[in-house]
Structure 1
Amino acid sequence: MLYFVILCIVGIIALYVLMPSSSGVDYSSEVKPLLNKKCIACHGGVKKSGGISFLFRDEMITEGESGHIAVVPGKPGKSEVIRRITHQDPEVRMPPDGDPLTPEEIDILTRWIEGGAQWGEHWAYESIEKPELPPYPVSAGNTESNTDQWGHNGIDQFVISRLVQEGLYPNESADCASLIRRLSLDLIGLPPAPDLVDQYCANPGEEQYQAVIDTLLNDPAFGEHWASHWLDLARYADTKGFERDAHREIWHYRDWLIRAFNQDMHYDQFTVEQLAGDLLPNPTADQYTATAFHRNSMSNDEGGTDNEEYRVQAIIDRVNTTWGVWLGTTMNCVQCHSHPYDPIRHEDFYTSYAFFNNSRDEDTHHDSPRFRYYQGPDSLQLDSIRNFIRELPGIDEAQRERTEASIVQLLHTTEPKVHPHYFEFLENSAHGDTKTLVMYPEGLVKLPNFLIGQDSLLLISFGGVPDGGTLTIRRDKRDGPLVSEIALSKEYRGRQVFFPVKPQPHAADLYFSYTPAPDQGGNLSIGWMVFYQPPYDNFSDLQPSLTDILNTRGVKSVPVMMEGEGKYQRTTRVFERGNWLVHGDTVQPDVPGVFAESADEPMQDRLDLAQWIVSPQNPLTARVTVNRFWEQLFGRGIVETSEDFGSQGSVPSHPKLLDYLAYEFMHTQQWSVKALLRQIASSATYRQASDVSSSKLEKDPYNILLSRGPRVRLSAEQVRDQTLAVSGLLSKKMYGPPVMPPQPDGIWSVVYNGAQWVPSTGEDRYRRAVYTYWRRTSPYPSMVSFDAPSREFCVVRRIRTNTPLQALVALNDPVFLEAAQAMARSGSQTSDSVDENIQTIFQKAIFRVPTGSELQQLEQVYEDALADYQDDQQAARDLLTPQDQLLFNSVPQETPPPDCAEKDCAELAAMTVVANVILNLDAFITKE
């Protein structure tokens, strides 16, 4: 009786809260969706039919081309929109295509205009105030579940209040083994160690559960798992993209990402370092490395391509990625016109573009700028250079710091470069394969309108150099004032060398002429140049050391972001209709007007943008971020469209819960990802069993209301990693260059660059999926089958599919077959009983004992396979042979074919088939 009374009271309160007010309507939830659905297609960012737009209020209440005003606030009778949507003539009535508005929809618009046509703010842009926790509506024993764990976590109070409103009840907690398996797969992407399950199940209390969370959060595998998710957002790949899709050495960024997650780098710092680590004071090597996030954009170094065109494409990609990853905003809609549905103007795209337009990368084949890591003797030499600077006489501490920063930056990045495509090729010269500046005998090139300024050194990276001859640089014309004269030597081939130049206070055309030595020819090839201002007098004392370290071979490096300053800054203009060749007005860096109030100070660069993104004044970032982590644990975000928090995206299933998590993440947890994950995983909502009753399936088929625990198929990386883990094959080796597990011959068809897929040997073939070499035009096939993207662009949300190809992969891929072999061998060593061996393998894979029906079916699989292999001993030997050798003949055979008696081979092969079946069960590839 008490429960019935409480339920009635809650229902009455909910009905009152949800009932629309007779005096007005809500713009965000009622009016905006209606305008988007019925009006925006013709009157929005793409089209402004009749000069009317419903995207911005000022464009809606002004006179259109017809002379009428679409909306007259407070006067629906004088508003053209009401006249047109209620007109009896179908030729006049709006919308022109599709069904007319319903009476209810007309009433919403009429009452809205009558109330003054108030322009509300979209829910995702509203400031975040900490919501009050709803009262816990039920007591223990009033639901179908064990409620001991409910009511102790704010998440649960929001969830159970909603469930009671809908007449639903939460599930009981999942059984101990299933819960720990779920928790482990969610936090580290791997199944739990068996002893972790045994310890918890022996004493499954709250303290023990929290201890398991601690263990998993501190496991190094945590960083590998969450880096895998982030790599989709970062569009990470080991190649550059486009047709040639050449190799790119960028794995240092992936390693930085793993370490950042393991160290629980707080999300605000995590954001700033990736977007603008290079702009922080005295940036460290790690902070430079973090900026490789935006060097994952594709580049095209094929012959005949336009460097500026693909540089522009990379900047556009960075704008779209930044707004998509951190702000859930489809900014790519705005490149060519105003946003079709959200109040973001066409010009706003280019004010965002201006933040990234000064980056020094320019679609070059060597991916400059690159940060060089000096190790061993080179590191000691760098330390020696630092010590030399610290002991320089006659300079104050501030100049000493500037000197060290200038030289260290030059050694690590050799920037700012002047690339071959800066030049005009006048006589006997060419842009060699769009990569090098090539000067033939008596060659002449021009560097137009270049400001040398106070720079008195020129660093040249040479390719081919003749033995003798002269490279002359003159100002204004080919025989103008001398800037520098360089005697060439074959000793310069393949090296970087300093030469003096005369400072020039004004910009001028610089003419470079090459004259060979008498009676000798030979071409001169230059990769790039750097004009450099020595930071102190007598700099020549240090030049030999700098030259030595700059010419060190085999130095590891990673592409990074660097800002162009002074003469290297660019002007940003609007692209008319998105065409990079047609420029409009000049714009300055800024955020769209709809966010202007949250930006307190004018912004200048990426650091300003990054700091605004994670400022408390900007409510979007925290909402988008907590929703993404929630999605990874529950399979669905509180906002399903995690890629779109705009007005066309899904509305939150639990708005107050979303704001509660966002507020806690920003303020209480101080942007700690591990604290957020702990909060979610500790909730009773998360711990529910995933069983579903017929009534819940009817009322909540997609578990939007969270009436049960999550049950979703594992990601592509988890499917592979779990298979290796339960079989005992998984390598725990971390970091380093990418690896190449076996894949079928012919998958990796490469043009123009001669790269080959050479399968890794030893433990490298069994490393976690995060380390697998990722080629954009041909990603690892088994992971693509399980919905991994190509990473040619940012993917915020993977869409899960269910195709026969997935079953074919899980049955035939070398990883699965080798895992099945290993499980069959280990299982067969446990007992002489077939039943016990099957149960051992099953429990190792799925963390429970098979049911009677499951065991019976697996026994039948074994008996059928055994009969076949007893009749065909060669087939048994083939199945037990290392799969890459047998199927693809792609690597030297490390393990010889099994030397076993015929009976033993047949039995082991039959048990391998059983293990293979278990690894293909829905219970194995699904998190329950």
Structure 2
Amino acid sequence: MSKYICLLLIAFFWSCQNSKDDEISFNRDVRPILNDKCLRCHGGVKASGEFSLLFEEDAFGQTQSGATAIVRGNHSKSELYKRIVHEDPELRMPFDAPALTQKEIDVLVQWIDQGAKWEKHWAYVPPKRDIEPPTIDSLSWAKNKIDQFVYAKMQEKELSPSPEADKATLLRRLYLDLIGIPPTHEEVKVFMENSAEDAYEKEVDKLLASSHFGERWAAMWMDLARYADSKGYEKDSNREIWKFRDYVINAFNEDMPFDKFSIEQLAGDLLPNPTEQQLIATAFHRNTLANDEGGTDNEEFRIAAVVERVATTYEVWQGTTMACVQCHSHPYDPFRHEEFYQSMAFFNNAKDNDSYFEEPKFFTYSEENREEVESLLAYIDAELLPEDAAPKEPYLYSEKEAVLTRLGYRMHEAESFYESSSFIELDESLSLLWQVQDSSWVKYDQIDLENIEQIGFFASATIGYAGDISIHLDSLKGKKIGAVKITKTGESKKGADNRYNTREFKAAIDATEGKHDVYLRFFKGERYDGHLFYLDKMRFYEREPRMKLYSTAFNQKLKKLAEIPATSTPIIQELPPVEARKTHLFERGSWLTLGNEVESGIPNIYGYPETEEPKDRLAFAQWMMSEKNPLVARVAVNRFWEQLFGFGLVESMEEFGTQGEKPTHPELLDWMAVRFETTHDWHVKPLLRELVLSATYRQSSDADVEKIEKDSRNQWLSRGFRTRLSAEQIRDQVLTVSGLLNPLVGGPSVTNSSVDGGWTGVPDWAVKGDSAKYRRSLYTLWKRVTPPNEMLTFDSPDRSVCTSRRIRTNTPLQALNLLNDETFFEASNALAVQMLQADADPEEQLMFGYAKVMGRKISDKKLLLLKELYHDAQEHFKQEKKDSNFPEAAIERIGDEKNNLAALVIVANALLNLDEFIVKG
């Protein structure tokens, strides 16, 4: 009897388990079939028969024929089933395509009969907040909870972890990952001699506190922000926006919480009493392209910028490709066409409008100039008469402008209020430099001319321009109120502050009341092309300015205050409510074909109640960084993981939707996302600290045959990653080991030799001396049409659009670049000099060179190869003496060691080309 009962129990549990195994999962079993076979005709782009399998409400509704496509619990009454098994090829689905296999039909039948349970894609379901790390049988290997998740997956895949990497390899990996440059020879020596248990942990904390930490992680963010020092399109005019880059560097260095960092970039201008840095943060979305080509429609390119901001926002913070939803509903994910424009409504009321000078701009001062402005303002405030006093302005530049205006010293940067112009051509290498024709004009919007008797033009007429400017009110043919003759000034050069040397030309104007649009109309004095004209500032002279009531010393201070240059940064600013634009759906994505008006909102898939939907950009940003958003924390931790391990837990970092890769470790991803948001309170440094302290991160990258066969791509993390360094890291590493690197943090973009790449039709870049030439790659001036050569060669994007993931390539051009690029060759010279000075023994020189480059001792086998190369090169230069002069600058510093140094340059060049040097192992 007992045996009979046991058999029954076994049968019962087996049937329960079998039933559980047979339960069809929509996400696992059904969705792949629908995506592959059905959505082409019944998805977001196209809904034949008024039937879509992309949205739940459509899938279970009536089709155009009146039949119900899916009847839960009864496949035989479901039109979907009838069509996929129909014998008539005109009626069978998929139409005009291979039929579903019997296995696929069985899956759909079983799913319908089991109740056709619909499931959201995993990424749109909030992560569980109570996930516990799995229990493992090797707690001695695990150094933190991350390792428990990783080890459990290894066990599942019948893999085991690799031993810890050697100290030298681990230190180099850590430096490159956390600050983007390798350790110095001295830093390696100190670490290797430190046998304390916490030596590695102390190195981690030291690097997290380094000022270079922000530079390394800002380099990652520049791809997402599509940062460039130019506007793109055909003209690719210069853009001054480096203050945004400095904001990002400082934010990472200060470990600004990621939610605050994100909100400030998306809506810093809408925060209560925004600071200067919060306004500069909004330049994230001023990195969009702008078109300065004559004859283009500003509104068209304003809209193009707004559309791109929507797509970028969703890619950066949601891991979602929304660009296609501009034209139609998403092909594979539940985003409707109109939802793109609901999101666009959040961004559609920014003030910028594709004008040349990119208003609105925010003006700030360098630290040195800031101190001087503050000192002058303090002096002026102390001397002001009571009737000239006024409340303090919130920002230093606006306070300076307010003081000057009140006292009648109205000096403005020409670009600070410029609205539109008509010049034949702009010289793209020179800001504000115009080619003048008789048809040329400039318009200034709503200038207050009350009590103004003269306008001063601070200008430079280059290449011999001479002519007249007439001043008109409200239109080109409006009332003429004055004129000024511009005389020849000869060719002008830029000064140390990167501005042209200018002279002031004054025009007396008729008495005028109120505000007017002011037009400057240009007439050439001589008839030939090439008249170039540069307008720097305009000054408005009042008839009875308040400044006349003050002393000469006071007025000198006022003049000095007016002349201190400020740095401008294009920012996002919201239009006032009375000027708010309406947002319409664009039919087929065309801005010329307006559909229904839409209100701001977020896609329904996120399950946010309509009554609580955000109504402005700030509320949208705050929702995005809230726990109600299922994606943002996952996308963020996945991005940081990818930077350390070479691949994300979700490899398709730009796409978490149904067409993206599934997470290799879904529980780990969700656990880290929740921990980042709660335990770490959105702070990046504790997250990175936890990652680099894990045993998973510290593994050796050596792999045996078995591991390669079982896991060729190292998806299951049973060994360390070997990934090629980024373009920036390769160049920065070369500069570091050669001793050339200029470690200055922050500041304007600089040019270096690599920018001049033999391109035609673009300006030559002036290299601003060795100090700037050898700064980190992050600071290299970035032109979208002609980015730095070595950056493109090593897979950097041109930053015309947001790039979440650089696809690594391996081409002969990369090797040629490493061998022959001027920066790499100069670094070889500098390294060779250090090798020669390190020791009199050539063998010691070679050992020193390798240790300096790789951060560890050289093996006997590699030393033998280097010695052969050195002796071959030495013999070559003895026989071909003229060739030994090629590292001339280096040889001059050494004297009689020409042949030895020349040979060492060859060795140094080879060291900087080693695979192990450009790879993080």
- The letter for the 2-side match of 1:910 is A
Measure, in 1, the Cα distance between the counterparts of 2:584 and 2:385.
44
Q: Does 1:824 align with 2:835?
A: no
- The letter for the 1-side match of 2:309 is R
**Are the equivalent residues in 1 in contact too, given 2:442–2:520 (CA < 8 A)?**
no
- The letter for the 1-side match of 2:899 is A
Matches within 5 A, 1:545-584: 552=563, 554-584=565-595
Q: Does 1:684 align with 2:695?
A: yes
Matches within 5 A, 1:198-597: 198-374=189-365, 375=369, 377-380=372-375, 419-420=419-420, 471-472=472-473, 552=563, 554-597=565-608
Measure, in 1, the Cα distance between the counterparts of 2:757 and 2:645.
38
- The letter for the 2-side match of 1:742 is S
Q: Does 1:663 align with 2:674?
A: yes
Measure, in 1, the Cα distance between the counterparts of 2:155 and 2:470.
88
**Are the equivalent residues in 2 in contact too, given 1:131–1:656 (CA < 8 A)?**
no
Measure, in 2, the Cα distance between the counterparts of 1:905 and 1:369.
58
Q: Does 1:917 align with 2:910?
A: yes
- Alignment partner of 2:597: what SS? strand
- The letter for the 2-side match of 1:757 is W
Q: Does 1:29 align with 2:28?
A: yes
Measure, in 1, the Cα distance between the counterparts of 2:577 and 2:296.
28
Q: Does 1:708 align with 2:735?
A: no
Q: 1:634 to 1:204 in 2, by over 3 A?
A: farther
**Are the equivalent residues in 1 in contact too, given 2:469–2:521 (CA < 8 A)?**
no
For these two proteins, the number of residue pairs brought into alignment is 848
Q: Does 1:41 align with 2:46?
A: no
Q: Does 1:881 align with 2:888?
A: yes
Deviations 1:784-827 (A, max 9, x none): 11111111111110001111111111111122222222222212
- The letter for the 2-side match of 1:789 is P
- Residue 506 of structure 1 corresponds to none
Identity of aligned residues (%): 42
Measure, in 1, the Cα distance between the counterparts of 2:509 and 2:159.
75
Measure, in 2, the Cα distance between the counterparts of 1:866 and 1:37.
63
Matches within 5 A, 1:642-791: 642-743=653-754, 747-751=758-762, 755-791=763-799
Q: 1:417 to 1:93 in 2, by over 3 A?
A: farther
Deviations 1:111-155 (A, max 9, x none): 222233232122112112334333432236xxxxxxx441x4111
- The letter for the 1-side match of 2:135 is Y
Q: 1:809 to 1:116 in 2, by over 3 A?
A: same
Q: Which deviates further from its counterpart, 609-618 or 124-133?
A: 124-133
Q: 1:415 to 1:865 in 2, by over 3 A?
A: closer
Q: Which deviates further from its counterpart, 236-245 or 96-105?
A: 96-105
**Are the equivalent residues in 1 in contact too, given 2:474–2:519 (CA < 8 A)?**
yes
- The letter for the 2-side match of 1:917 is A
Measure, in 1, the Cα distance between the counterparts of 2:230 and 2:442.
32
**Are the equivalent residues in 2 in contact too, given 1:71–1:79 (CA < 8 A)?**
yes
- Alignment partner of 1:94: what SS? coil
- Residue 72 of structure 1 corresponds to 71
**Are the equivalent residues in 1 in contact too, given 2:819–2:913 (CA < 8 A)?**
yes
Q: Which deviates further from its counterpart, 172-181 or 457-466?
A: 457-466
- Alignment partner of 1:668: what SS? coil
Measure, in 2, the Cα distance between the counterparts of 1:330 and 1:292.
22
**Are the equivalent residues in 2 in contact too, given 1:235–1:297 (CA < 8 A)?**
yes
Measure, in 1, the Cα distance between the counterparts of 2:22 and 2:78.
19
**Are the equivalent residues in 2 in contact too, given 1:470–1:515 (CA < 8 A)?**
yes
Measure, in 2, the Cα distance between the counterparts of 1:189 and 1:496.
58
**Are the equivalent residues in 1 in contact too, given 2:276–2:395 (CA < 8 A)?**
no
Measure, in 2, the Cα distance between the counterparts of 1:471 and 1:623.
58
- Alignment partner of 1:200: what SS? helix
- Alignment partner of 1:586: what SS? strand
Measure, in 2, the Cα distance between the counterparts of 1:439 and 1:813.
40
Q: CA RMSD in A?
A: 4.4
- Residue 5 of structure 2 corresponds to none
Cα deviation for residue 382 of structure 1 reads: 5.3
- The letter for the 2-side match of 1:305 is T
Measure, in 1, the Cα distance between the counterparts of 2:17 and 2:885.
68
Q: Does 1:840 align with 2:848?
A: yes
- Residue 526 of structure 2 corresponds to none
Deviations 1:79-103 (A, max 9, x none): 1222222334444432235543233
- The letter for the 1-side match of 2:244 is Y
- Residue 815 of structure 2 corresponds to 807
- Alignment partner of 1:619: what SS? coil
- Residue 126 of structure 2 corresponds to 127
Matches within 5 A, 1:51-200: 51-96=50-95, 98-139=97-138, 148-150=140-142, 152-200=143-191
TM-score, structure 2 as length reference:
0.82
- The letter for the 2-side match of 1:419 is E
Cα deviation for residue 628 of structure 1 reads: 0.2
Q: 1:249 to 1:22 in 2, by over 3 A?
A: same
Measure, in 2, the Cα distance between the counterparts of 1:604 and 1:500.
43
Cα deviation for residue 540 of structure 1 reads: 14
Cα deviation for residue 228 of structure 1 reads: 0.8
- Residue 626 of structure 1 corresponds to 637
Deviations 1:378-423 (A, max 9, x none): 444556788899987999xxx98899998789899999968348xx
Q: Does 1:637 align with 2:653?
A: no
- Alignment partner of 1:597: what SS? coil
**Are the equivalent residues in 1 in contact too, given 2:218–2:249 (CA < 8 A)?**
yes
Q: Which deviates further from its counterpart, 240-249 or 852-861?
A: 852-861
- Alignment partner of 2:585: what SS? strand
- The letter for the 2-side match of 1:918 is L
Measure, in 1, the Cα distance between the counterparts of 2:838 and 2:394.
68
Measure, in 1, the Cα distance between the counterparts of 2:204 and 2:26.
43
Q: 1:730 to 1:359 in 2, by over 3 A?
A: same
Q: 1:896 to 1:204 in 2, by over 3 A?
A: closer
Q: 1:560 to 1:379 in 2, by over 3 A?
A: farther
- The letter for the 1-side match of 2:818 is A
Q: 1:921 to 1:441 in 2, by over 3 A?
A: closer
Q: Which runs of 5+ in 2 are unaligned?
A: 1-13, 405-411, 427-431, 460-465, 486-502, 523-532, 539-545
TM-score, structure 1 as length reference:
0.82
Match for residue 614 of structure 2 among 603, 606, 626? 603
**Are the equivalent residues in 2 in contact too, given 1:274–1:292 (CA < 8 A)?**
yes
Q: 1:72 to 1:676 in 2, by over 3 A?
A: same
- Residue 7 of structure 1 corresponds to none
Measure, in 2, the Cα distance between the counterparts of 1:85 and 1:787.
45
- Alignment partner of 1:589: what SS? coil
Measure, in 2, the Cα distance between the counterparts of 1:367 and 1:515.
22
Q: Which deviates further from its counterpart, 374-383 or 334-343?
A: 374-383
- Residue 886 of structure 1 corresponds to none
Measure, in 2, the Cα distance between the counterparts of 1:493 and 1:75.
87
**Are the equivalent residues in 2 in contact too, given 1:716–1:787 (CA < 8 A)?**
yes
Cα deviation for residue 166 of structure 1 reads: 1.2
Q: Which deviates further from its counterpart, 165-174 or 457-466?
A: 457-466
Q: 1:391 to 1:661 in 2, by over 3 A?
A: farther
- Alignment partner of 1:419: what SS? strand
- The letter for the 2-side match of 1:737 is P
**Are the equivalent residues in 2 in contact too, given 1:85–1:95 (CA < 8 A)?**
yes
